Structure 1
Amino acid sequence: MKDFPSCFGENGVQVSHQASSSSSSSEANITSSKIAQNLVTCVYQCRMRDLSCFIITLTWTKNLMGQNLSVVIDDSDNQCLCKLDIKPWLFAKRRGYRNLEVASKLIDVYWDLSYAKFGSSSPEPLEAYYFAIAINQEIVLLLGDMEKEVHKKIDVTSKVPNVVFVSKRAHISGKKAYSTRAQFCGNGQIHDILIECDTLGTNDSYLLIRIDGAPVMQVKCLRWKFRGNYTILVDGLPVEVYWDVHSWLFEKLMGNAVFLFKTCLSAEKLCANDDSYPSWSSKDRQSQALGFSLVLCAWKNE
């Protein structure tokens, strides 16, 4: 646990790279900038039928200027193939299509965010949208609940992409409650995660985590337990939860708390437990072997 803050603190989920300064005013400006900007980064591993592998990173951002979606596609050697910025707050770009040819690969990007519904603070759409990427006329990533509309627009050779949700990193803000969504298993259920944290009480400070409304973890007396870890079960899978709320409790400048959710079954254990979990597909096991992680950087609104 000693290394947890350094691994998942400021540099772990960075909104923007800014020059460091020892002055408190500069630190305050950086903090204000981060709180003003909500950011969610999702990483997917996509595999084509010819076994070519790609890492697709989507960064959803919301700030005072509006919303933005940044797309980065890397190959299996971590070489960037292309980058693309989409600003759906501009009326002309809420629905669109981009065609790119990179390294002898034809990349098609489609999106429709015209009627997308968002959470109260998250820049990531919840429903009524689609986002799709096809490489050489094969769909490698398909997000949203408008799948039929995608297939009407895209003439492709594949219908179901082979994709694994690897990780999600998010900046979220609130007063005592912080919410997000996560999918801990390859094609498993999408869960609502709610973190309730009260750090004002000297003896009664607490941390409570709910998944789909049900409490799964509670920590009392946070001033003595401001860092720690605990294992919960989600979809029958063990998920390790780490928390660090030291900044909220002891620093003069209001910093951020960090929460990490990580599946903790290795590929070997999954193979050994195949008989115990017969309903798991090969993609589920692949997802867990990669190790899904969710990092939340929580900022307080005073």
Structure 2
Amino acid sequence: MAFRVSTRNHSMSSLQQPLAQKLMNDPVTPKTAQSMVTCVYQTHIAGFWRNVTIVWSKNLMNYSLSISVESIDHDQPYMCKIELKPWHFWAKRGYRTFEVDGHQLDAYWDLRSAKFSGSPEPTSDFYVALVSEEEVVLLLGDSKKKAYKRTKGRPALVEAVMFYKKEHVFGKKSFSTRAKFDQKKREHEIVVESSTSGPREPEMWISIDGIVLIHIKNLQWKFRGNQTVLVNKQPVQVFWDVHAWLFCAPGSSHGLFIFKPGEPEADSDVEDETRGDESDCSGPSKYYSTLSYSKASQFCLFLYAWKIE
């Protein structure tokens, strides 16, 4: 989707509204659930606000980075894919040009010194820059000085804003990710731990920055729920659905966790919306229906936790 910058508030809301339907139409299966991080940003390119999707993924052979920019005509997005094979050092730094609705975009990247911590998305010592008309419309990573020097571009008048992140994590008992609940503040480390087998009742812990904020006992009865916690005095809504962990074949489906900054909406009825056939082990989580994007809600984190035995 794309739109003129003069109506930013209305336009940003318009971009966010189709996400719930999009996620419902794109169910996750074991076949498609690779080690992957998807981040969607709102950027101003060639006179329009557009969604830019960054996908970091990895398999046994290599990492890959995919950049997708939406068209104003609702056609197929414009794609730029980069393979980062470990034995090709030169491929970790590069430059590529592609067109979006007749406008040239330049993608620059340098991941030669990038640090990783188990996720396909690097944590430090890298940059990925998207340049339009000599303006750096999207800049990822912490090596910003190097990026500006190489691209010779000027900073964007309005910075790109991430409004959702989706990550698939594989583990036995512990699943971790990181996210910014406020774009101007630091990233938070989020860890979900569980004990679903053994003589004791199933339990689950959700911690942020090393502090356990949610502890669920008798998980077999409370496998779906929601709670609002405070992170640096900021309210964050947490939704969880771990039905698959307890009642489905190992590896057949995932637990889903949603982290959404802000207070719950007064007229929302999460419990009623999410009830349904609790025996489903293959379809999308009941919590897809809780997604509600508005001007006051510009970010959501989706954590797909796949248990490996």
TM-score (norm 2): 0.76
Whether the aligned pair in 2 keeps the contact of 1:202 and 1:223 (CA below 8 Å) is: no
Q: Are 2:176 and 1:179 equivalent residues in the alignment?
A: yes
Partner residue, 2:15: none
Whether the aligned pair in 1 keeps the contact of 2:137 and 2:156 (CA below 8 Å) is: no
Note closer, same or farther for the CA distance 1:265–1:141 as it changes in structure 2 (3 Å cut).
Answer: farther
- Cα displacement (A) at 1:251: 1.6
TM-score (norm 1): 0.77
Partner residue, 1:26: none
Task: Return the alpha-carbon distance in structure 2 between the equivalents of residues 54 and 7 of structure 1.
Answer: 18
Whether the aligned pair in 1 keeps the contact of 2:180 and 2:186 (CA below 8 Å) is: yes
Partner residue, 1:291: 298
Give the partner amino acid of 1:66.
N
Q: Which runs of 5+ in 1 are unaligned?
A: 1-5, 15-29, 268-286
Partner residue, 2:12: none
**Residues 232-266 of structure 1: CA distance to partner in whole angstroms, max 9, x if unpaired?**
12243221111111111112343211111112359
- Percent of aligned pairs with the same residue? 39
Note closer, same or farther for the CA distance 1:194–1:11 as it changes in structure 2 (3 Å cut).
Answer: farther
Partner residue, 1:43: 40
- Cα displacement (A) at 1:291: 2.8
SS in 1 for 2:221: coil
Partner residue, 2:242: 245
Task: Return the alpha-carbon distance in structure 1 between the equivalents of residues 214 and 109 of structure 2.
Answer: 38
Partner residue, 2:58: 62
Partner residue, 2:152: 155
Task: Return the alpha-carbon distance in structure 2 between the equivalents of residues 202 and 78 of structure 1.
Answer: 54
- Cα displacement (A) at 1:191: 0.8
Poorly superposed stretches of 4+, deviation over 6 Å: 6-10
Note closer, same or farther for the CA distance 1:71–1:8 as it changes in structure 2 (3 Å cut).
Answer: closer
Q: Which runs of 5+ in 2 are unaligned?
A: 1-19, 266-293
Task: Return the alpha-carbon distance in structure 1 between the equivalents of residues 23 and 215 of structure 2.
Answer: 22
Task: Return the alpha-carbon distance in structure 2 between the equivalents of residues 265 and 291 of structure 1.
Answer: 13
- Residues 89-98 or 135-144, more deviating: 89-98
Task: Return the alpha-carbon distance in structure 2 between the equivalents of residues 253 and 9 of structure 1.
Answer: 23
Partner residue, 1:263: 261
Partner residue, 1:300: 307
Task: Return the alpha-carbon distance in structure 2 between the equivalents of residues 244 and 266 of structure 1.
Answer: 18
Task: Return the alpha-carbon distance in structure 2 between the equivalents of residues 266 and 249 of structure 1.
Answer: 28
Give the partner amino acid of 1:64.
L
Note closer, same or farther for the CA distance 1:59–1:13 as it changes in structure 2 (3 Å cut).
Answer: farther
Partner residue, 1:165: 162
- Cα displacement (A) at 1:51: 5.5
What is the count of residue pairs matched by the alignment?
Answer: 260
Task: Return the alpha-carbon distance in structure 2 between the equivalents of residues 192 and 84 of structure 1.
Answer: 30
Give the partner amino acid of 1:156.
G
SS in 2 for 1:162: coil
Whether the aligned pair in 2 keeps the contact of 1:74 and 1:82 (CA below 8 Å) is: yes
Task: Return the alpha-carbon distance in structure 2 between the equivalents of residues 84 and 227 of structure 1.
Answer: 38
**Residues 155-207 of structure 1: CA distance to partner in whole angstroms, max 9, x if unpaired?**
22336751111000111011111011111112222111111111114543211
